[in-house]
Amino acid sequence: MTIKDVKSLLSQELGSVDDDTLVLLRSDERSGVQKLLTQYYKKIEQQKELIDKFHNKEFLERDYWNHGLYVAGVDEVGRGPLAGPVVTAAVILPPDNTLYEVDDSKKLTAKKRDVLYRQICEQAIDISIGVGSPQLIDQENIYHATELVMKDAIDRLYLKPNHILVDAMTIPVNIGQTKLIKGDSKSLSIGAASIVAKVSRDRLMAAYDKLYPEFGFLKNDGYGTKEHLQALDKYGRTPIHRMSFSPVRNTNKLYQTPFS
């Protein structure tokens, strides 16, 4: 085989190359072949580590799945920003899912989150979103508003879960739940929920960016960056700003649309 043939062969799905062929390639003295073989084995090892990590993150769900029960992972995005909603997601996964790369959404690039979002939507048994407006946040405070919006996400599921895994919160529903600190890194279901919530909120903020382009919501997601604070001082607060959050609370100026 030429080097190009070997490269094409080893570019196939991992694990698809038979042992006899690998033995033959290991005996090939060409440096190019050995380099490709080293890269191939490295990918195999990375895949093994990824799958091992995947199985470690589904240990909480596995006990419920083994008894034919449904478990929902719940997470939130957007508790800290000065503008925009807090968004929660509830996700019920099947025991035979292959979501190997799911992790805490904050550890993933936007491109990877979009890919995994589609995979989660394809494989999940049920998904629900809750959206808490800035007005709800101002009325209830951010912590309680998040609890209520998590409840909304659970209540809107078509399938009632037997148990809930939630990231560092307590949801006011009559369903048993396990509260995990940094749960989006420890639980597959919570990790999936964190991705769904993050992608959903990012899309909302992209829409708000078109309404209020001066604030840079597409880049800052409503957080209090220097650009955002300067725009708040110059243009005033918008209807999606949280009045109970400083420095919004200290801003008297109201945003005027170009058509006002």
pLDDT at 259 (0 to 100): 59
Q: pLDDT of 170-225, one tens digit each?
A: 999 999 999 999 888 899 999 999 999 999 999 999 999 999 999 999 999 999 99
pLDDT at 102 (0 to 100): 94
Q: What is the largest CA-CA distance in the chain?
A: 76
Extract the residue ranges of the chain whose pLDDT is less than 50.
none
Domain spans of the chain? 3-56, 59-199, 208-250
Alpha helices in 96-187 (DSSP H): 110-123, 134-140, 142-155, 183-186
Query: Which top CATH class is 59-199?
Result: alpha beta
pLDDT at 88 (0 to 100): 98
Cα separation, 49 vs 47, in Å, equals 5
pLDDT at 107 (0 to 100): 92
pLDDT at 63 (0 to 100): 93
- Residues 6 or more apart whose Cβ sits within 8 Å of residue 184: 75, 103, 104, 105, 106, 167, 190, 191, 193, 194
183, 166 in Cβ contact below 8 A? yes
pLDDT at 189 (0 to 100): 96
